[in-house]
Structure 1
């Protein structure tokens, strides 16, 4: 199945955080507080997915107050942090919505993401993802993690579902 065909089926799109929504760098204050840098371009893409009726989930192996604030700011209710088995988390989300695996997508960057990436109908990785991961996903972005890769995937999903042009045209009115 082509990446476009797989993306056309997505109703629930999940995202990893470090290396996908961020550049993967970990910043800590002297007090031990973790800081993260998020792209506003990516954020608008996530909002556009939600507007189009595609539910967004964040499934991360790490926990962070910065991520809690970012998810709340974007209206993302499905925030799952400190998850050891991301595939099982996605399966639970699909079961709760009575959706098949081909209705799910996930974007990850490292080998620990491969189980969930391979379990979803659509999978994506940023251009700076681990090389092995890039070989096992449907779509690799031109942009790197934290630098527009998430937005690129959001636009790809919306275009694959025939919704992107109409959404962008609204900004020209």
Structure 2
């Protein structure tokens, strides 16, 4: 019998995310200078920072290249940021090899065709609710949240809850 996605979450040590359509809603705003601007969800950012601070590996692999995205992710503590990546599988293979990570320990969230082949390699392929149908067909978990609207927070929080690590030392008191 196949494991449920919740059972697979017990083994996750590494989160890998695409950017456009996952960390963003896929919209691009273009200013008068031709610069493409994106928005990111603050709760996704909180979850990423919490995962990094809790010792999880967090890696970004994106075909897009925007230095504002890199700055935002660095500010959250992410050090493995691969932007402008033409071959996501090669980048993923190199990443897991360098850090000696087993693919079954990886949760990958993607939303479109460029993520397909990487998602076939990982232990827990996931996607936002608004991912394309080809990606939804191979995802072990489809978030109830859209890309850029809390899907990243959803998967990080679930993994950390399953592993008993969400809200670490929080005592429930809000002063």
TM superposition score category, shorter chain reference: over 0.9
Would the alpha carbon gap of residues 170 and 132 (structure 1) be closer, same or farther in structure 2, given more than 3 Å must change?
A: farther
Provide the residue aligned with 2:149 in structure 1.
147
Aligned ranges 1:77-156 → 2 under 5 Å: 77-156=79-158
What SS does the aligned partner of 2:130 have? Answer: coil
Structure 2: stretches of 5+ with no match in the other structure: none
Deviating more after overlay: 116-125 vs 97-106: 97-106
Would the alpha carbon gap of residues 141 and 88 (structure 1) be closer, same or farther in structure 2, given more than 3 Å must change?
A: same
CA deviations 1:108-139 (Å, max 9, x no partner) are: 00122111111011111000011221121111
Would the alpha carbon gap of residues 91 and 159 (structure 1) be closer, same or farther in structure 2, given more than 3 Å must change?
A: same
Kindly report the root-mean-square deviation, in angstroms, between the aligned alpha carbons of the 2 structures: 1.5
How far apart, in 2, do the equivalents of 1:16 and 1:61 lie? 8
What SS does the aligned partner of 2:108 have? Answer: strand
Provide the residue aligned with 2:14 in structure 1.
12
How many Å apart are 1:170 and its aligned residue? 4.2
What SS does the aligned partner of 2:138 have? Answer: coil
Provide the TM-score with structure 2 as the length reference.
0.92
Provide the residue aligned with 1:172 in structure 2.
173
Large movers: runs of 4+ above 6 Å: none
Structure 1: stretches of 5+ with no match in the other structure: none
Would the alpha carbon gap of residues 171 and 86 (structure 1) be closer, same or farther in structure 2, given more than 3 Å must change?
A: farther
What is the number of residues matched between the two proteins?
172
Provide the TM-score with structure 1 as the length reference.
0.93
